[in-house]
Amino acid sequence: MAVIIEIGTALPAYVHDQSEVTEVLASQLAKSDSARAVLSRIHEATKIEQRHFVMPIQDYVSVDSFSKSNGLFTEHALALAAQATQSALSKAGLEAKQVDYLFFTTVTGVGAPSLDVLLASQLGFRSDLKRIPSFGLGCAGGAAGIARVADYLRGHPTEIALVVSVELCSLTIQWQDRSMANFVGTGIFGDGAATVVMVGEDHPLASNGIGVSASRSILYPDTEQMIGWQIGTSGMSLMLEAGVPEIIGQNFARDVDAFLAASGSSRAEVDVWVAHPGGPKILDGFTSALGLENDELSASWGVMKRAGNMSSAAVLHVLSEMFTQPSKSKGLLFALGPGVTVELVLLEWS
């Protein structure tokens, strides 16, 4: 099986307390006392203490078009992705030129050539590097990246591959959108990046790390409007319906059990739960559906409190914090994304 040998993470330099973010957003977004009260209540309910942004929160008010936000994405995302990638490679004792395959994911900026081309040029990857740039997987992108790279490494067991995620969710703030979805989005999303180093099972570094033994993708029909982004002249507007926790409650336990059974395992054998910190209702939904104790998702809650929901990078930050586990531990990594989709990844610690 493919093996995760290191993870590098990066957060932007500007750190804002949740109360500070709420104050600025309330002054710009909410045009009445009642609207300000609603926004403040939503932000407080997230239980997030702080978030990292690529700019001071006051500077975002001038970001009022897609061209501005996307230009800033290219400017700032490259540096953050490079920081995470250099950290991961350094911890693994590898150089960029040794990497054979790169899966890049984001949902907060677009470009052609994609950002991974700029990353490859800056860090000195080989010219024959195989690249898979991915856009649109949203919060499920980090989990999906691990799964797809593991699939690739099964057929190329001596190679080295990276999953690179960078998300600048702060650039999606919509200053003229006074919908509940935008109020929620401005309260939970943060910026961050992560890079996962993976090797095939025949690589010399495969003896120590986290094995990826199985994965499954699930797409729930007729849920396309529940989570996602609408791209317009002002940038990316969040689509978020209140029924997402209900989707989790109705389906998640059944689908997890079916996946584990097909992999020769069960919930009782899972020691480590690596959940995407999509928000308090999402984490509560996972906890309830799987019958977990409150502290079993403590790492996910911790990442969310300190950095918010960093979309595809968030679950990779959680995995980084849970990287060291007793030998033979089993884990389930999972994330929810637009579609509505779920990505499940079964892990085994060596």
Helix, strand, coil percentages in the chain from 3-state DSSP, rounded to 5: 45, 25, 25
β-pairing, 191-199 vs 160-168, is antiparallel
For residue 342, list its beta bridge partners.
218, 336
Q: Among residues 139, 197, 226, 346, which one is catalytic?
A: 139
Q: Answer yes or no: 139 catalytic.
A: yes
Residue pair 56/199 in contact by the 8 Å Cβ criterion: no
Pull the structure tokens for residue 232: 């317009």
Strands 235-240 and 272-275, bridge-based pairing: unpaired
Q: Taking the chain, what is the end-to-end CA distance rounded to the nearest angstrom?
A: 11
> What does 198-252 look like in DSSP terms, one character per residue?
EE-TTSGGGGSSEEEEEEEEEE-TT-TTTEEEEEETTEEEEEE-TTHHHHHHHHH
Helix axes 115-123, 66-92, angle to 10 degrees: 40
* Helix (H) or strand (E) segment spanning residue 11: none
Nearest alpha carbon to residue 312 among 188, 164, 152, 186:
164
CA 105, CA 103: separation in Å to the nearest integer? 7
DSSP E strands in 302-340: the ranges are: 330-337
Q: Taking a C-beta distance cutoff of 8 angstroms, is the pair 1, 212 a contact?
A: yes
Kindly list the catalytic residues: 139
